[in-house]
Amino acid sequence: MHNVTKPTLDDLPTSEQLLRSTLIALVAAIAILITIVLPSEYAVDPTGIGRVLGLTEMGEIKAQLAEEAAIDAAMDAAAAQAAAKPATVSEVATPQDTGASSAASQPAAAESWRDEMQVVLTPGQGTEIKLVMQAGERAEFSWVAQGGVVNFDTHGDGGGQSISYEKGRGVPSDEGVLEAAFDGNHGWFWRNRGSADVTVIIRTRGQYAEMKRVI
């Protein structure tokens, strides 16, 4: 049988020591929440540290995925409801003129563009391509998804700032002019939500330092 020595009052931490340890743990938890958890999980970066560490971009991707999942669920529910409801004359789909869409899906000749990048996306895969731009610079772009359609988010980030210019779902192509709202990286995020591989081809020209693939 072992003899166990009971701790004395001097061996126990004082109330002041317990309070100090609690305050230190609370401050550490708040610091971790602000600098790591919020940027990586919710793309909220009040200190700018998350952007430097690459955590904010991770949070933006998670937020994008959550938004896509919510929209997919709503679309599935709407489709199921529509399937259960008899179609009326006004609800019957009419043939669409595909001439404009076909023309829009054909980017301008490659030789007229400054840069071109091509990425193959497997089902569920996403990619991001950015232009390094200064505030006020303008870049023309044209991209097409060959073999299917994609969800996209045209956005920018830099210097602790972020902006979303345009979003789309189930889009085969897009073109226009991207004007940088601030110094930083501005470009596109695409995700393939289909069941087959999709090839995204992006062509750009105009005022920017370089094109780079981020993801």
**pTM to 2 decimal places:** 0.56
For the chain, what is the radius of gyration of the CA atoms?
A: 26
- Report all structural domains of the chain as residue ranges with CATH numbers, in order of start: 15-57 (no CATH), 113-215 (2.60.120.680)
How is residue 3 written in tokens? Answer: 């003899």
CB 155 within 8 A of CB 164: yes
Confidence of residue 195 (pLDDT cuts 50, 70, 90): very high
pLDDT at 92: 37
Between CA 36 and CA 91 the distance in angstroms is 49
In tens, the pLDDT along 145-191 reads 999 999 999 999 999 899 999 999 999 999 999 999 999 999 999 99
Cβ count near 23 (within 10 Å): 10
